Amino acid sequence: MRTEDPRPIALKDYSEPDFWIDEVHLDVDLAPETAQVRSTLAVRPNASRPGKDSLRLDGEGLELLEVHLNGEKLGPNRYQEDESGLTIMEVPAGAFTLTTVSRCNPAANTALTGLYLAGGIFCTQCEAEGFRRITYMLDRPDVMAVYRTRITAEKALAPVLLANGNCVESGVLEDGRHFAEWHDPYPKPSYLFALVAGDLGCVRDAFTTASGREVDLRIYVEPGNEDRCAYAMDALKRAMAWDEKVFGREYDLDIFMIVAVSAFNMGAMENKGLNIFNDKYILARPDTATDLDFANIEAIVAHEYFHNWTGNRITCRDWFQLCLKEGLTVFRDQEFTADMRSRAVKRIADVRMLRTHQFPEDGGPLAHPVRPDAYIEINNFYTATVYEKGAELVRMIYTLLGAEKFRKGMDLYFTRHDGRAATVEDFLEALSDGSGVDLSQFKRWYHQAGTPEVMASGKWDGAQQEYVLQLSQVCPPTPGQPHKEPLHIPIEIGLLGEDGADLPLSPIGGTAAASGAHVISLTKREQTFRFKNVTAKPVPSLLRGFTAPVKLSSNLGEREWAFLMAHDSDPFNRWEAAQKYASMILTGNIAALSNGKIPRAGTGFAGIVRKILNDPGLEPEFVAQMIVLPAEQTLAQAIGQDVDVEAIHSAREAFRASLAEQLYAEFERAYNENETPGTYSPDAEAAGKRSLRNTCLGYMAATGRADAIALAKNQFDTADNMTDSMAALGVLAHTDCPEREEALRAFHDRWKDDHLVMDKWFALQATSPLPGTLSRVRELMAHPAFSLRNPNKVRALIGSFATANQLRFHESGGEGYRFVAEQVLALDKINPQVAARLLGAFKSWRQFEPVRQAHMRETLERIVSQAELSRDVYEIATKTLG
């Protein structure tokens, strides 16, 4: 809990540790309420910081029993304990071993960091600073050691005993106890340590690496869930093969294990050789998991596996470098998914995600650079900025270098830094040296926060037959950064001729592009680019593929957006044009609604949607993306200030209904044509059909027609997979119709014993736009399947209400805010990380109209005034208030 003023840690204060620790031997004796840990550390002074005679180790919430130095027991006058660690005085000048014996209480650990017992399984989460809750250690990522871990437990309680590396010994002891000893030969920081013990079922497979080594693959789950592991295992093998092929990276141990647990603070964790997952991202069966679940499993299994090279073999020097492993690994998992599925659809999904989560963060009080320069609680920096914007920065480097030089740079990065703890500077230097491309201006992206705004103004000069494109950039101020330098922004562009086809591009003073794809570099505040031999007025397609995480504005109007929506050869920009066009109509309609004017029906937009629905050449999932209107949150962002959530909701729903009326027959036809009969397959093609079909169902239901509701009810009753079942239930649950309660009850009764499916049931009700939603959410907190102690439950019910139900969270009387704040405070006593995450729902509070702003401010002030707050919640609350 809060120590008076939590002090920020700053990057500029980094210094190497006074000592190195080369080996860690752990002897862990497990019982639910006491885990006794005997730890022996091989310590060596750091030659570059000589003359230190006391050793300071991190340790929190531990009961210290004994200390030995070089095998000799130390008296209490030789060491000092306090709430954050242990200091050993008068240590020898050379290398020495230090043994501590201590205890912790896994059953009482509700914060789920360190060693905890949940659902009968002992498990650990050490990133970022959880290891110090298991034993005393230099718990920082630049201290890398070889670990040997011996686990002892009652066999009946924990028949399976796992830790990092290879199992070197195991056996039975007296009194029904047994042990296993694991050895990980690769030096690693403490945050990659893991231990799991419990009654677990196992699914096994094998992978042969490119150099011919056999790797034993295992997924451990709660007994009974073995039939839900096949997809995760398949994804793992594909990820292993992909990393060999695309990055030349092979797996390095003889065994790779994944454990799925139901109580986990995040998605998953890349512990060396022993990844631990939130079971939501492993377990899938067609009847229990949606297509989106399958896609997430594939991506996250790959993400954690890819960390073995980008994160584990090369780790971070300090936590300010978090993006070095996370941004890079997200980029790698995005590329994997793009190769496994549809590249265009993946890009659209990633940009959607960036815009809904990262842009508001970057434009609000919690804005921070991809590489932050200070933090109070590092757990608050596992953000969309570090992860998603971090990935965009790597993607820009990829765009600037091209595939081949990027690979050369990455190869050099791996050779130079393998086995080391590196920095962002090391990464940029390797990519620059390996490719010969100068990245010095580009580096600003890493320390400058905020989303840059790029203004484009294009003109066709008929006399010169030239197209002149003027670009400028500004980056708005962010907390602590009033002044910004211009960035190096890669912008892919194209010019479309009258027929909608791409014109050949001949830049003046530049190099001609090979394929028609052309990337220009905007490096100054203002810059002009010219293209010759343009014989007729073109329509420009700017920022194709979203080559930079910026907000682009231009002198294009509705006619041009409609043209690009109909014709752009770049699928991302075609989607972007549809979003821009829809957004123009919608923001107009939102204003009309407040002024008592008549909203537009959008017949022009509907006309293009009709063509798209009728185009057999387009993949169904892309069509689905093209026809989904911008989300309410996206519209709120586009409006930016004085946001009226009710007007947004009504205008959007009305436009959906209007489109559905205009295109009912087309939606119905697409619904019927995209059936996926036969055995369910989670592949992208089948999933795309279901996605389009269910999007059409949603539109049809938006008309409120009885036949559409009946269709949804019928789909719900007959669905043989969770995707179709959930889509239909979603329609019913979000519509005020008699079928609503009946369907929710039927779903509940069928799945009440399945914790993952129950999360879907909670989330669906929490995101309902109907007026009774908040009281329903309160009621559901008393449901036996709900628990504040389980992060997935909290995210499903309270998190979805706060972050995915703009209309009801922002109820004008402020009751939504007060409810969420109540839960944040209750959770803060249980699990500060999850509490702080939830509080993030308030980050955009200044964009709403004054009444709601006042309610949110008051709520935040009440949180800050609490006597006992965790550092996690304290940091988010104070920074949000600004």
652 binds, among Zn ion, ligand ARG, none (CB under 5 to 8 A by kind): none
Question: Would you call 564 exposed, middle or buried from its count of C-beta atoms within 10 A (0-12, 13-18, 19+)?
Answer: buried
30 binds, among ligand ARG, Zn ion, none (CB under 5 to 8 A by kind): none
Chain positions 409 to 468 lying near ligand ARG, rule: CB under 6 A, are: none
Chain positions 118 to 137 lying near ligand ARG, rule: CB under 6 A, are: 127-128
Question: Smallest distance, Å, CB 272 to Zn ion?
Answer: 14
Of the candidate residues 269, 421, 424, 711, the single one contacting ligand ARG (CB under 6 A): 269
User: Is residue 174 flagged as an active site residue?
Assistant: no
| 270 is a site residue for ligand ARG (CB under 6 A) | yes
| 281 is a site residue for ligand ARG (CB under 6 A) | no
Q: Are 189 and 151 in contact (CB under 8 A)?
A: no
Nearer to Zn ion, 329 or 676 (CB): 329
Q: Are 877 and 869 in contact (CB under 8 A)?
A: yes
Question: Smallest distance, Å, CB 113 to ligand ARG?
Answer: 7
Give the Cα separation of 859 and 845 in Å (integer).
11
Question: Smallest distance, Å, CB 329 to Zn ion?
Answer: 5
Three-state secondary structure readout of 237-280? HHHHHHHHHHHCCCCCCCEEEEEEECCCCCCEECCCCEEEEEHH
Query: Contact region for ligand ARG (CB under 6 A) — 37-45, 232-240, 267-275, 623-631?
Result: 267-275
Nearer to ligand ARG, 112 or 609 (CB): 112
Strand partners, 38: 27, 101
128 binds, among ligand ARG, Zn ion, none (CB under 5 to 8 A by kind): ligand ARG
Question: Smallest distance, Å, CB 386 to ligand ARG?
Answer: 10
Q: How many CB atoms lie within 10 A of CB 376?
A: 19
Give the Cα separation of 331 and 557 in Å (integer).
33
340 binds, among ligand ARG, Zn ion, none (CB under 5 to 8 A by kind): none
| 662 is a site residue for ligand ARG (CB under 6 A) | no
| 585 is a site residue for ligand ARG (CB under 6 A) | no
Chain positions 41 to 60 lying near ligand ARG, rule: CB under 6 A, are: none
Binding characters for ligand ARG, 294-313, by CB under 6 A (x = yes): ---------xx---------
Nearer to Zn ion, 42 or 246 (CB): 246
Nearer to ligand ARG, 312 or 658 (CB): 312
Question: Smallest distance, Å, CB 124 to ligand ARG?
Answer: 12
Strands of the sheet with 518-522, listed across from one edge? 518-522, 489-496, 539-542
DSSP 357: I
| Amino acid letter, 808 | R
Return the residue matching tokens 């789909």.
715
Question: Smallest distance, Å, CB 242 to ligand ARG?
Answer: 17
Give the Cα separation of 287 and 301 in Å (integer).
21
| 539 is a site residue for ligand ARG (CB under 6 A) | no
DSSP 358: I
Question: Smallest distance, Å, CB 321 to ligand ARG?
Answer: 13
Strand partners, 137: 58
Q: Are 71 and 63 in contact (CB under 8 A)?
A: no
Question: Smallest distance, Å, CB 112 to ligand ARG?
Answer: 10
139 binds, among Zn ion, ligand ARG, none (CB under 5 to 8 A by kind): none
| 379 is a site residue for ligand ARG (CB under 6 A) | yes
Nearer to Zn ion, 329 or 768 (CB): 329
Question: Smallest distance, Å, CB 304 to Zn ion?
Answer: 7
Question: Smallest distance, Å, CB 145 to ligand ARG?
Answer: 19
Strand partners, 167: 182
Give the Cα separation of 264 and 706 in Å (integer).
43
Pairing status of strand 195-198 against strand 201-208: unpaired
Q: Indicate the SS3 state at residue 467.
A: strand
Q: Which of 222, 298, 304, 576 is catalytic?
A: 304
Nearer to ligand ARG, 432 or 792 (CB): 792
**Each residue of 449-463: b (16+ CB within 10 Å) or e?**
bbbbebebebebeee
Query: Contact region for ligand ARG (CB under 6 A) — 51-59, 261-269, 496-504, 792-800?
Result: 261-269
Task: Compute the CA torsion angle 151, 155, 159, 165 (nearest 10 deg).
Answer: 20
Question: Smallest distance, Å, CB 278 to ligand ARG?
Answer: 10
**Each residue of 98-111: b (16+ CB within 10 Å) or e?**
bbbbbbbbbeebbb
Question: Smallest distance, Å, CB 826 to ligand ARG?
Answer: 20
Nearer to ligand ARG, 375 or 563 (CB): 375
Q: How many CB atoms lie within 10 A of CB 679?
A: 9
- Rg (the chain; Cα; Å): 28
Q: How many CB atoms lie within 10 A of CB 789?
A: 15
Strand partners, 456: 471, 554
**Each residue of 695-709: b (16+ CB within 10 Å) or e?**
bbbbbbbbbeeeebb
Of the candidate residues 136, 179, 242, 382, the single one contacting ligand ARG (CB under 6 A): 382
Give the Cα separation of 684 and 689 in Å (integer).
9
Number of residues in contact with ligand ARG, rule: CB under 6 A? 11
Q: Indicate the SS3 state at residue 617.
A: coil
Chain positions 126 to 165 lying near Zn ion, rule: CB under 5 A, are: none
Chain positions 469 to 508 lying near Zn ion, rule: CB under 5 A, are: none
Query: Contact region for ligand ARG (CB under 6 A) — 221-229, 265-273, 527-535, 767-775?
Result: 265-273
Q: Quick one: how far is CA 387 from the chain centroid? A: 6
Cβ-based neighbours of 110, under 8 Å, separated by 6 or more: 116, 789, 830, 831
Task: Assess whether the previous peptide bond of 128 is cis (omega < 30° from 0).
Answer: yes
Nearer to Zn ion, 231 or 277 (CB): 277
Chain positions 307 to 326 lying near Zn ion, rule: CB under 5 A, are: 326
Chain positions 160 to 189 lying near ligand ARG, rule: CB under 6 A, are: none
Nearer to ligand ARG, 122 or 387 (CB): 387
Q: What is the DSSP string of 367-419?
A: ---SS-SEES-GGGG-SHIIIIIHHHHHHHHHHHHHHHHHHHHHHHHHHHHTT
Strands of the sheet with 195-198, listed across from one edge? 114-118, 121-125, 195-198, 160-163
Binding characters for Zn ion, 323-362, by CB under 5 A (x = yes): ---x--x---------------------------------
Q: How far is CA 92 from CA 44, 69, 97, 138, 638, in A?
A: 10, 9, 10, 17, 63
Residue whose Cβ sits closest to ligand ARG? 382
Chain positions 481 to 520 lying near ligand ARG, rule: CB under 6 A, are: none
Nearer to Zn ion, 387 or 445 (CB): 387
Nearer to Zn ion, 353 or 851 (CB): 353
Cβ-based neighbours of 366, under 8 Å, separated by 6 or more: 383, 840, 843, 876, 879, 880
Cβ-based neighbours of 320, under 8 Å, separated by 6 or more: 11, 14, 371, 372, 373, 375
Query: Contact region for ligand ARG (CB under 6 A) — 264-272, 715-723, 811-819, 870-878?
Result: 264-272
Nearer to ligand ARG, 123 or 565 (CB): 123
269 binds, among ligand ARG, Zn ion, none (CB under 5 to 8 A by kind): ligand ARG
Of the candidate residues 266, 431, 564, 585, the single one contacting ligand ARG (CB under 6 A): 266
Nearer to ligand ARG, 571 or 791 (CB): 791
| 386 is a site residue for ligand ARG (CB under 6 A) | no
239 binds, among Zn ion, ligand ARG, none (CB under 5 to 8 A by kind): none
> Which positions lie near ligand ARG, rule CB under 6 A?
127-128, 266, 268-270, 303-304, 326, 379, 382
> Which positions lie near Zn ion, rule CB under 5 A?
326, 329
Q: Which residues participate in catalysis according to the annotation?
A: 304
